[in-house]
Amino acid sequence: MKKKTEIIPAIDIIEGKCVRLAQGDYNKKTIYNENPLEVAIMFETAGVRRLHLVDLDGAKAKHIVNYKVLETIAKKTSLVIDFSGGLKSYNDLEIAFNSGAAMITGGSIAVKEKDTFLQWLEKYGNEKIILGADAKDGKIAVNGWLEVTELPIIDFISEFHKEGVKKIISTDISRDGMLSGPAFDLYSEIMKMFPEIEIIASGGIASMKDILKLNEMKLPCAITGKAIYENRITLKEIERYITDC
């Protein structure tokens, strides 16, 4: 049986609470649960193996903030956690890994301080360091998506692919939190150009139909958040999908 696209639920944190933003806009915030651990346990109970945990306060502050949430979830579940948001220094990374992150995602740092990101890649390896390739209208966005650069996403990925990056998370910001469907064409283009990179699709997933289409495309992983919180994708559906794997 071929490996299916792995569903990775997202938990975004502001002030220690589980929230979702629309298109990365901090003014369009919905609080879904005051206790992220409860949410993580629900995912684990449904058979989920991995979790995408985003420190939105950290992304804004430009240093890690919500590491205690990471620590609590890591200690009280067996989820494999990819952590991102505000990771700008070795100290931030040490805090993240010591708090239980299995992997970290660096996006803004790769744009702003390429040498620092490459040092992380060399020190921790390409299984632990994921490249964040988030874009709006095909251009890379940084700093919690508050700033859109002129750097085309394909050029950006190519640059780091040459340096040994093995995993990327790519979010089409215009779709994130909008339940409008993933950027299928973008992921198809990335897969065609970089077949050996593990692409983690993110943004826009609205239903299991989207997951199934990504699965048909043979995307390795897909992050989804709002669709779960809005009950467009139920935990029962996720459980059935995982069981069928």
Amino acid at 30: T
Predicted confidence (pLDDT) per residue in 120-174, tens digit: 999 999 999 999 998 888 899 886 566 788 999 999 999 999 999 999 999 888 7
Q: End-to-end alpha-carbon separation of the chain, Å?
A: 8
Q: Does residue 115 carry a catalytic annotation? A: no
Answer for the pair 147, 141: CB distance below 8 angstroms, yes or no.
yes
| Of 12, 55, 176, 210, catalytic | 12
What pLDDT score was predicted for residue 245? 64
Answer for the pair 40, 11: CB distance below 8 angstroms, yes or no.
yes
Q: How far is CA 104 from the centre of its chain?
A: 9
| Of 134, 172, 176, 210, catalytic | 134
What pLDDT score was predicted for residue 52? 98
Q: Strand 147-152 and strand 139-142: pairing? A: antiparallel
Cα atoms found within 13 Å of the Cα of residue 144, Cβ hemisphere only: 23
Check: CATH 3.30.930.10 for 6-244? no
Residue 176 has pLDDT above 80, yes or no: no
Answer for the pair 11, 51: CB distance below 8 angstroms, yes or no.
yes
Domain range list for the chain: 6-244
Amino acid at 83: F
- The CA distance from 240 to 236, in Å, is 6
Tell me the pLDDT band of 179, cut-offs 50, 70 and 90: confident
Predicted confidence (pLDDT) per residue in 42-84, tens digit: 999 999 999 999 999 998 898 999 999 999 999 999 999 999 9
Predicted confidence (pLDDT) per residue in 200-225, tens digit: 999 899 999 999 999 999 999 999 99
Instruction: Give the global pTM.
Output: 0.92
Q: Does residue 12 carry a catalytic annotation? A: yes
